[in-house]
Chain A
Amino acid sequence: MNPIISLKDVTFTYDNANKSALNKINLTVKPQQWVAIVGLNGSGKSTLAKLINGILPADSGTITVAGEKLTEQSLWNIRRKIGIIFQNPDHQFVGATVEDDVAFGLENQNMPRKQMVQRVAWALDQVQMSAFKNKAPQTLSGGQKQRVAIAGVIALQPQIIIMDESTSMLDPNGRRDILKIIRKLQQQLGITILSITHDLSEIVEADQVVILKRGIIEKTATVAEIFADPTRLTAWGLRPPFTQRLQLSLLQAGVLLTKKYQTKQGLADELWQLRSKM
């Protein structure tokens, strides 16, 4: 299958910076996958998102999105294929009401009003926010705001959604909500998800994890592979998940557990087997 996003030797340096924010990045993302991009603050993960939709222009290298090379001419066409959910839910509303905001992207495409009305209704329904369509975005909770932002993005029927730390300012309930919706959209609409995050509950959703460190890709692997070696995680800005921490502590205390990456369920099973043998 052809990759939906591919970066070849992409380098980017901010003005006034003496070091590249991203250095010769090579990355391919397969369609309909969920890819998590992780790394410490300042590792270049947010820069990466801005390069992919051409908000920032790469110094060198090529970026291809859905078979189309990113150039000045293809810029707007490519932006149409990518939706971004930003970090601060308060800083991304243009419309004065929920439905107006969802329509903003459609207005930019000069879509006839009749079609817009249908699309807005559909998008709000997907994120279960139809009941709020006449409300001012400011009156909503953080999680609801991000749901509206998602509706604004999917109304444009993009092939890719980039989540730029979009759950980091939400409370646990809001976070859970957003991840559930994104997961549903990815499966039902076949959207490719690129999530930039250091939240564990978001990382474990991914099919593939890309670790960035000081502007270069340090490792690309599955969730299980990444968490298999908990000792290296801190350096990547990650904390081992609960099961891994527990497993490690028990191993250190001499409990005879297998060493592989495990889900909660798996570890609970293994512990019960040990217990039953007593």
Chain B
Amino acid sequence: MGKMIIGRYLPGKSLIHQLDPRCKFIATFIFVAIVFLANNWQTYLALTIFVLSAVLLSQVSLSFFIKGVRPMIFLIIFTVALQMLFTPGGHPFWQWGIFSLSALSIRNGLFIFMRFLLIIFISTLLTITTTPLQMADAVGAILKPLKIVHFPVEEVALMLSIALQFIPLLSDETTKIMNAQRARGVDFGDGSILRQIKAIIPILIPLFVSSFNIAYDLSIAMESRGYQGSENRSKYRQLKWHFQDSLVMLLFIVLTIILIILRS
């Protein structure tokens, strides 16, 4: 079909979509770090307003962000519960053995919950507004300093980008092979574990064969087009750092200062 979505990217033309992926990447990292500065209602309120305005600017429906929380829900509940039940201090109004609940522990639990939510929202914002390819480019650009220690940055970036684009092809092939074996009477997701493992073999082997064929063909195609490794290659696709990207960075500095002032 070739129409699947890789990752969670949703096409759009919003301000957030148009930011340089490096900017979005760095901003996300900064945000994850400064979330830990927050320790009272004022700071959490500031962060929440900031994240919600960013979500609004992205023009992506809030439901996609809430969906992003779903796979994490157990981890969140577990951590929050742990935090609430084991926070010492304050006046416990409920106690059972080593477990206790106090106004302080409930407050802490809520803050942890907020922290999770904010981090998930902001990273969802990154993945929803940035194509996997832009991400690969950003990673390549950010890792560039590692070249000093002879880390093959360009190779890794090219590898990432090629891997990303063969995902739809391989997923199509998988569907096709699964269908072909289904037509020959294989039941997937039926029967004992042993039977299910056995049912995977007729898919895995053709898929391996197919992947090796692709890799072989691709390497020949690359060599024929003069690829000799990443030395002395120019670059066609270039990331452009715009004024708005600098503005976002500035905004983060301001946010950090606000947090430092407001925290208790």
Decide if B147 is an interface residue (CB 8 Å cutoff).
Answer: no
A76 on the B face (CB < 8 A): yes
A138 to B158, CA, bound (A): 17
Whether the pair A92, B217 counts as a contact (CB closer than 8 A) is yes
Cross-chain contact of A55 among B218, B224, B226 (Cβ < 8 A): B224
A94 touches B217 (CB 8 A): no
Task: Report chain B residues within 8 Å CB of A80.
Answer: 226
| Bound-state Cα–Cα, A55 to B223, Å | 8
CB neighbors of B among A40-89 (8 A) = 50, 53, 55, 76, 79-80, 82-84, 86, 88
A138 is contacted by which of B2, B218, B234 (Cβ under 8 Å)? B2
Measured between beta carbons, the chain A residues less than 8 angstroms from B2 are: 138-139
Establish whether residues B235 and A96, one from each chain, have CB atoms under 8 Å apart when the complex forms.
no
| Smallest CB gap from A113: residue in B | B234
Among A82, A94, A99, A103, find the residue whose CB has the most chain B CB atoms closer than 10 A. Answer: A94
Complex Cα gap A25–B133 (Å): 45
Of B161, B169, B222, the contact of A90 (CB 8 Å cutoff): B169
Q: Given the known inter-chain contacts A107-B235, A120-B236, A138-B168, please indicate yes or no for A88 contacting B217, CB distance below 8 A.
A: yes
**Complexed CA–CA distance, A88 and B217 (Å):** 8
Task: Tell me the residues in window 89-110 of chain A with beta carbons closer than 8 Å to chain B beta carbons.
Answer: 90-94, 96-97, 99-100, 103-110
A129 to B161, CA, bound (A): 22
Q: Is A152 an interface residue (CB 8 A)?
A: yes
Give the complex CA separation of A120 and B237 in angstroms. 12
B225–A53 touching, CB < 8 Å: no
Q: Report whether B217 and A76 are in contact in the complex, using a CB–CB cutoff of 8 Å.
A: no
User: Are A91 and B214 neighbours in the complex by a CB distance under 8 Å?
Assistant: yes
Q: Does B221 lie within 8 Å of A76, measured CB to CB?
A: no
Using a CB-CB cutoff of 8 Å, which residues 64-107 of chain B contact chain A? none
* Contact, CB under 8 Å: B213 / A76: no
User: Contact at A107–B224, with CB atoms within 8 Å?
Assistant: no
Judged by a CB distance under 8 angstroms, whether B238 is at the interface is yes
Looking at chain B, what size class is its interface with the partner chain?
20 to 34
What does the 1/0 interface line of A202-227 toward B look like (CB < 8 Å)? Answer: 00000000000000000000000000
Check B228 for interface membership: any CB of A closer than 8 A: yes
How far is the CB of B202 from the nearest CB of chain A, in Å? 22
Say whether B226 contacts A108, CB under 8 Å: yes
Contact indicator per residue, chain B 209-253, by CB within 8 Å of chain A (1) or not (0): 000011001101111111110001111111000000000000000
**B interface, over-half SS:** helix
- Which A residues lie within 8 Å of B238 (CB)? 113
B162 sits at the interface (CB 8 A): yes
Q: Are B169 and A108 in contact (CB under 8 A)?
A: no
Q: Which residues of A contact B120 (CB under 8 A)?
A: none
Query: A116 in the interface, Cβ–Cβ < 8 Å?
Result: yes
Which residues of chain B have C-beta atoms less than 8 A from A109's C-beta? Answer: 226, 234
**Of A90, A96, A100, A137, which contacts B164 at CB under 8 A?**
A96
A112 contacts the other chain (Cβ, under 8 Å)?
Answer: yes
Tell yes or no: B3 within 8 A of A by CB.
Answer: yes
Q: B179 on the interface (CB 8 Å rule)?
A: no
A156→B221 contact, CB < 8 A: no
Across the interface, name the chain B residue whose C-beta is closest to A116. B236
Asked if A113 and B236 sit within 8 Å, CB to CB, the answer is yes
Which of A55, A79, A97, A107 meets B234, CB within 8 Å? A107
CA gap between A86 and B169 in the complex, in Å: 17
B221 and A79 within 8 A (CB) = no
Task: Name the B residues within 8 Å of A136 (CB-CB).
Answer: 165
Whether the pair B236, A79 counts as a contact (CB closer than 8 A) is: no
Contact B236 A105 (CB under 8 A): no
Question: What separation, in Å, do the CA atoms of A113 and B233 have in the docked complex?
Answer: 11
Chain A residues lying within 8 Å of B233, measured Cβ to Cβ, are: 107-108, 110
A75 to chain B, nearest CB (A): 10
The answer to whether A91 and B213 have CB atoms under 8 Å apart is yes
Q: Which chain B residues lie closer than 8 Å to A116 at the CB level? A: 234, 236
Given contacts A92-B221, A110-B232, A156-B225, 4 further A-B pairs with CB under 8 A are A76-B228, A79-B223, A97-B133, A110-B234
Q: What would 12 A/B residue contacts be, using CB atoms closer than 8 Å? A: A55-B224, A79-B224, A86-B217, A86-B221, A91-B221, A93-B165, A94-B225, A96-B164, A105-B225, A109-B226, A138-B2, A139-B3
Interface residues of A (CB under 8 A from B): 50, 53, 55, 76, 79-80, 82-84, 86, 88, 90-94, 96-97, 99-100, 103-113, 116-117, 120, 136-139, 152-153, 156
The list of the 4 closest CB pairs from A to B, nearest first, reads: A103-B236, A91-B217, A108-B226, A105-B225
